[in-house]
Structure 1
Amino acid sequence: MRKSADNSCVRLRAGYALCLASTLFVVFTGCKSSSSGGEGQSVELNGAGSTFVYPVMSRWTSAFSNAHSNVRINYQSIGSGGGVQQVKNGTVDFGASDAALNDDQLNGMKPTIQIPESAGPVCITYSLPGLDKPMQLSSDAIAGIFLGKITSWHDPLLVKDNPGVNLPNTKILVSHRTDGSGTTNAFTTYLAAVSPEWQQKVGVGNSVDWPVGIGGKGSEGVTAQVRQTPGAIGYVELTFAQQNKLPVAAVKNLSGKYVLPDTASTTAAIAAFTDQLSKDPRTPIVNAPASAPDAYPISTLTFLIIPKDGPDVAKRTALRNFVQYVITDGQAAAATLNYAPLPEGVKSYDRQQLQQMTAAGQPLP
């Protein structure tokens, strides 16, 4: 009897030890999985930059956080220049810019990748109460206005662009951005492409020495100035104009057609530069050739600016997953807010760039 009881105790202790070992294994492997992959951990991502992309960025960050309750994304709409500077300073996890970084800018930063994430039109918006259809503007008219050479809405060149329209003899007030702005870069890239005088006197940049006009901070500031001032004209992202019930001009392209800014006309602009974009997604898509009659001539790609490496595996993994969402399912959301979806060639480039992301020098899980 004694031997039988001893055997029972041994079996009981062995079973208990096996159970305890199994429990510890489950706990250990569960913790290991959580720490390496970032799933279930509370993660906060901070981004800053483009006001142009702010409407769709708000949609993206909200949708992604709703689907991933452990991830919170904060985005500050401070202008492309500010976003790039914050990436350079290491104070944000990602930036957004409507102007791609050139080689000199990239060389002045820690290793960085830039990912095209959407495209949209830079709109010419204005305040002319009483007009019942959109203004039509040629490249000569736009350059003349922003150079300060055309000062009245009844200028002969504007009358020529708008036959049969009773234009008022109202003074033109130009509104432009004061902050470092990728929208400004895209707009001045267009002006330099269509006007040798603009190229020589002003040039291209996130900030330029404007020949005329008053400044506003962000697309919000320019929109407010145009809305409040009869005779004003400025350049903003389409959603800002629509939300403020401001008209936008149809701009004459190289085919001679006046084209309104929208998703379809921006998509046509992208398509006109397919070959160039497949080689370098930083290629400007302004002033599409005459072979693209439906292209809106002041279109731009926008970019996410992301450090290649960072110390936190969970944050880096969440950031990669967010960007993957942006360039895939997020493109449908972008289209509802007047941003053109990325062509497959550009999305393929984006996926290759994402593979370069690391944490503490190691590939992401």
Structure 2
Amino acid sequence: MNLKRFGVPAVVAVTAALALSSCASNEGGAAAPEESASTLSGNLVGAGASSQDTAQQSWIAGFQTANPDVTIDYDPSGSGAGRDTFLAGASDYAGSDRAFKDEEIAAGGFTACAPDTGIVELPVYISPIAVVFNLDGIDSLDLDAATIAGIFAGTITNWNDPAIVATNPDATLPDLAITAVHRSDKSGTTGNFTDYLAAAAPGVWTAGSVEEWPIEGGEAAQGTSGVVDAVTGGSGTIGYADASRAGDLGIVSVKVGDEFVPYSPEAASAVVDASPFAEGRTEGDLAIELDRNADDTGVYPIVLVSYLIACEEYADAANVELLKSYLAYTASEDGQATAATDAGSAPISDSLREKINAAIDSIK
């Protein structure tokens, strides 16, 4: 890890704690030091994207272990609820599966932020969104964008529909109704999924890129875990969820160019690095405009980029250094490796990390 890049106490604290632990281990069971190397203390509150929950719990555990006088609480209430909580000043930071829109930022109202200052948005969690299904005897399917869109739009209603058969000639597809499961809550995962449908199959999916499910019918479920539970508990069900929660469900490989690509962290990361930042944002606002129609080999286009969102400048600076330390840990090589192991996310690239660290350093 290159400590000079971070410039905040968290990495020092984490590294020092690990070093002390290592020394104790190497000395054949010597007692741990009576005092922690960390000088950080206090409480942070975050709320938002349920897709981040596994990664957040891993980050929190690692950070609190190195900084025992720190407590961090994260409520996986969903992206929309998390943004609302942050706007109201009831949390130190938000987790969101989409960046704030230009018009939302222009409207202001960020209660915790100093007047006339903006926000920083840090893309620290990158993950494919898996299209998951439950069909007896079938573990994987190949589907193109138009077929996926037709299923969720309600125009393809049976598993032996010719469009599904055409790309899965070797599968024994049942004469069984499709139950498409979607999120009941306002969700960044829904926003990213419908953004893909609108970009890749606009002639079939005409409802646009939206965070609240716009189509009647199907089955609604609360949160990522609710969708996974509904698909798991049904027969002939299909849904979409952060890939870290796919478990043993059947998985769809998505047509990209002339091939069908299964999800993977590497394929998700490739799309992000190939996509530009949104124009007209401040230097610390690292919102990414994902290229949903990328057709490079090995690219998986149904990707979720989830952000940690904070103020450029806080009206009350009491928790600023602690917050900056925690944010730096989530973006660090160690933090990203922990999330990759526990949540199956794609570690951010070194070039993106440098931009994120610069944004964190600018927080006041």
Kindly state the Cα deviation for residue 247 of structure 1 after the two structures are TM-superposed.
2.2
* Distance (Å, rounded) in 2 between the aligned partners of 1:70 and 1:208: 42
* Distance (Å, rounded) in 2 between the aligned partners of 1:355 and 1:40: 19
Counterpart in 1 of 2:136?
A: 129
Residues 80-116 of structure 1 show CA distances to partners (whole Å, capped at 9, x for unaligned) of 0000000000001110111111211112233321111
Contact 1:154–1:169 (CA under 8 A) maintained in structure 2: yes
* Distance (Å, rounded) in 2 between the aligned partners of 1:71 and 1:309: 22
Residues 321-340 of structure 1 show CA distances to partners (whole Å, capped at 9, x for unaligned) of 00001111211112222211
Following TM superposition, the consecutive aligned residue runs of length 4 or more in structure 1 with deviations greater than 3 angstroms are 39-42, 277-281, 311-314
Match for 1:185 among 181, 191, 197? 191
* 2:218 partner letter: G
Counterpart in 2 of 1:318?
A: 322
Residues 301-350 of structure 1 show CA distances to partners (whole Å, capped at 9, x for unaligned) of 11111122335545211110000011112111122222111122322221
Counterpart in 2 of 1:303?
A: 307
> Going by fraction, where is helix more abundant, 1 or 2?
1
* 2:328 partner letter: Q
Question: With structure 1 as the length reference, what TM-score do the two structures score?
Answer: 0.81
Q: Does 1:224 align with 2:229?
A: yes
* Alpha carbons of structure 1 residues 351 and 42: separation in structure 2 relative to 1, 3 Å: closer
* 1:105 partner letter: E
Counterpart in 1 of 2:259?
A: 257
Counterpart in 1 of 2:289?
A: 284
Q: Secondary structure at the match of 1:153?
A: coil
Counterpart in 1 of 2:76?
A: 77
Cα RMSD for the two superposed structures: 1.8
Q: Which runs of 5+ in 1 are unaligned?
A: 1-38, 359-365
Counterpart in 2 of 1:113?
A: 120
Q: Which runs of 5+ in 2 are unaligned?
A: 1-37, 111-117
Match for 2:340 among 296, 311, 335? 335
Q: Does 1:234 align with 2:239?
A: yes
Counterpart in 1 of 2:33?
A: none
Kindly state the Cα deviation for residue 300 of structure 1 after the two structures are TM-superposed.
2.3
Question: With structure 2 as the length reference, what TM-score do the two structures score?
Answer: 0.81
Q: Secondary structure at the match of 2:210?
A: coil
* Distance (Å, rounded) in 1 between the aligned partners of 2:157 and 2:263: 24
Contact 1:269–1:288 (CA under 8 A) maintained in structure 2: no
Contact 1:41–1:314 (CA under 8 A) maintained in structure 2: no
Identical-residue share of aligned pairs (%): 29
* Distance (Å, rounded) in 2 between the aligned partners of 1:305 and 1:198: 34
Counterpart in 2 of 1:246?
A: 249
Counterpart in 1 of 2:31?
A: none
Counterpart in 2 of 1:354?
A: 360
Kindly state the Cα deviation for residue 206 of structure 1 after the two structures are TM-superposed.
1.5
Q: Secondary structure at the match of 2:182?
A: strand
Select between 140-149 and 188-197 the one with higher mean Cα deviation.
Answer: 188-197
Counterpart in 2 of 1:269?
A: 271
